[in-house]
Amino acid sequence: MLNSSIMQILKYTNECVVSKIKCKTGDIVMSLHNVFPGIQLIYNHAVMTESENILIENVRGENILQIDHCCDGRVECSCKDKFFYLSKGDICIHRKDMVENNFYFPSGSYRGISLLIDVNAAPKCLSCFLEDVNVEPKLLLEKFCKGGELFVCRSNSQLEHIFHELYNIPQEVQKGYYKIKVLEILLFLSCLREEMREEKLCSFSQVAMAKEVCRYLTVHMDERITIEDLSRIFHVSQTVLKNSFKMVYGTSVYGFIRRQKMENAASMLKTTDKTVLEIANLHGYENGSKFASAFRDIMGSSPVEYRQNNQLC
């Protein structure tokens, strides 16, 4: 079932299996629910940067339709020799066998759901559960995945309305609510328009370069680095560098640098006795007030307030 990882079963019943998977870079908890015959709903909560060939038994092959929704964080998935990314509110619809089982989490965390439909095992038409839900899983597979394609749709108010309730279901009504929501989602997808498809895929070279830039920025956090500097170091145009980085990390290079510095500074405020000015200097800020302003923008409080509320040492 799993390679290069350690799995712990936290719960096992006929209707639900909860597993905790430990990889080299962190953990992922997967909660699998059998909703209808051939239809499973999986909650995924990852706190890691990269998973290692996570496989789910009996849910693989070209007859498995998978719908992924991102609630929080960001995830990288690979399809053939290309890569695509989901951020908060995005969905992807694809055949299970078209997407690799290795995942990268650029923000270090991810929370979302996967709805898996075995077209051969599920009812031919879902009207057998609710008369007016005249939806055939086989037709959904043909609609979204013809020719091995995948369908990515970015966050919008319709998707938010359909999916957000799945993350706050009272335990005492979960079983029935899963059934209602799955039928609602599939009915919604049956009328989703083709023009909502987004085909932004990244090449291997774009992804590799963006990750190299990220590693460089992490090592040189105390320096003031410009786009021009990075363009020269990595022998690529500024436009390609900026576009590739944003496609992988979902933010600009400058936005990434700023957040990375403030999160690292926050960690130092919690765990060291260095002064605020010393921490500011270590992150490339000579002016304490500019550092405080940047810190407040990202962390929601001043460095002094943050230390008072969170100091561990």
> For residue 1, what pLDDT band results from cuts at 50, 70 and 90?
very low
> For residue 252, what pLDDT band results from cuts at 50, 70 and 90?
very high
- Could you read off the pLDDT of 168-180 as tens digits, one per residue? 888 888 889 999 9
**Torsions phi, psi for 300 (to 5 deg):** 85, 5
Average pLDDT, stretch 50-67? 69
The model's pTM is 0.84
Distance in angstroms (rounded) separating the CA atoms of residues 289 and 251: 25
> For residue 313, what pLDDT band results from cuts at 50, 70 and 90?
low
Residue 218, token pair as written in the block: 């992490």
Average pLDDT, stretch 216-239? 92
Average pLDDT, the chain: 89
Q: How far from the centroid of its chain's Cα atoms is residue 171's Cα?
A: 25
Distance in angstroms (rounded) separating the CA atoms of residues 249 and 234: 18
- Could you read off the pLDDT of 116-143 as tens digits, one per residue? 999 999 999 988 888 788 899 999 999 9
pLDDT of res. 5:
67
pLDDT of res. 58:
45
Most confident option among 55-64, 193-202, 213-222: 213-222
